[in-house]
Amino acid sequence: MTKNKLDLIFKSYDIRGIYGDSIDQHVAYKIGKAFAEFVTDDTIIVGHDGRVSNIEMLDAFTSGIKSINKEIIYAGLVPTDIVYSLSGLLKKPGAIITASHNPKNYNGFKLCNAGAIPIGENSGLKDIKKLANTNDEVHIEKFQNNDKYIVSKYFEHLENLVSPASIAQKLNFGIDGGNGVFGAVFDSLNNIYKFNTKSIYLEVDGNFPNHPADPSDETNLTDLKKLVVDNDLDFGIAFDGDADRGVFIDDLGRVISGSMMTVLIAEFLSSQNTEFKVVHNVNVSPHALKVMKDNNIELYKCKVGHSNIKKMMRDVDADFGGEHSAHFYYRDNFYADSAILTLLIFMKMLSENKNKISSVIDNYNFPPSSGEVNFAVEDIDSAINKIESIFEGEFDKTDGLSCLHSDFWFNVRGSNTETKLRINVEADTQEILEQVLEKISISIQL
């Protein structure tokens, strides 16, 4: 049974499943033991988000680590990016117990090696899965934390990257914590940066009572949009469940896509650096890529997924990485993604620019974009082949299928967790965009 569960929960760049079904305490114990066997260090950083099953998972996972006499540095209730940064600062492997934006009944793990080096399908997850596939006895004990508070090192790290003095105090913005883990660190951040903010759903509640902690679904941004527009705020940000991703909206309540944010952050950071390298995933829009290329930014295309982005960033020594899904990565943050650092950099950018973010975005003249559209399919590969057969243009198969036509572009790729196609379309006009989406929909049904 364990083997079948492992097959279900080990994904391309993390581990996740339904708690009590495909993942439980016994599985968590074995993954903890396997992770401890895989890494060479004698000490492992462990944190967790606010899901209702996290304490049970913590007890089991840490018991697995201790079963082979390795020690634990407990980060506590923290966003994923804090574990990554602590892994870089302390040069220790790290694990965060989380299922990111998935519904409340899910849980899982994101893992990294010492120095925040990602562990993905081709960089250790397969080995950990193999090590976990045992019939060893399981002895779970209540986790006892005897460590000092270490998260202060993270906040010192942030201050070194973005000083509070570099952010204008007059910026007013909205936060939707989504009842995810961001609320656990808001007060500490606020003590340092003295935010002027109106906040909703900062209470950490693994039942997610107000809306799913998934800001990639625009229906979950309704309350934040109203907050920003009604209070005439400068912008808003919505965090996902483990707060490693933040989706921004402008002062008019419009979503700032991950592609737009990639351009905004890359251009701001590159203005202080004559040679600037950016790694982007395959569904960052062609318009965004052209803008960056025209500004002499060196671009590197990569498959979707944090472990893929981080590896390529290290390989080419890139300064910044951007995904259309709104994950953003920084060389100065050990090549790791951080929504909190992105928020601070964004505020620093607005402090220096002085213009409304809506007018800044309008100046870029981004063409109509669909955002991510999901289609449920029976077979991902078959559906992608059908789509390719009815379109003409220049195709790229780096990750899924990208089609570049004279008046539109799209990328379609399979979900990492479900039998769904994730589709992004950009077109010269809204009419053409809708025609492309309709054509894709029809082709899937053939």
- Three-state SS sequence of the chain: CHHHHHHHHECCCCEEEEECCCECHHHHHHHHHHHHHHCCCCEEEEEECCCCCHHHHHHHHHHHHHCCCCEEEEEEECCHHHHHHHHHHHCCCEEEECCCCCCCCEEEEEEEECCCEECCHHHHHHHHHHHHCCCCCCCCCCCCCCCCCCCHHHHHHHHHHCCHHHCCCCCEEEEECCCCHHHHCHHHHHHHHCCEEEEECCCCCCCCCCCCCCCCCHHHHHHHHHHHHHCCCCEEEEECCCCCCEEEECCCCCEECHHHHHHHHHHHHHCCCCCCEEEEECCCCHHHHHHHHHCCCEEEEECCCHHHHHHHHHHHCCCEEECCCCCEEEHHHCCEECHHHHHHHHHHHHHHHCCCHHHHHHCCCCCCEEEEEEEECCCHHHHHHHHHHHCCCEEECCCCEEEECCCEEEEEEECCCCCEEEEEEEECCHHHHHHHHHHHHHHHHC
**CB of 215 closer than 8 Å to CB of 256:** no
**CB of 436 closer than 8 Å to CB of 408:** yes
- Decide: residue 217, CB within 10 A, 0-12 exposed, 13-18 middle, 19+ buried: middle
Identify the CA nearest to 137 among candidates 282, 30, 259, 295: 30
Structure tokens at 229: 């527009």
Q: Quick one: angle between helices 286-294 and 258-270, nearest 10?
A: 10
CA separation for the pair 37, 105 (Å, rounded) = 28
CA separation for the pair 2, 136 (Å, rounded) = 11
Write the CB contacts of 137 (distance below 8 Å, at least 6 apart in sequence).
none
Catalytic residue positions, numbered: 100
CA separation for the pair 147, 198 (Å, rounded) = 34
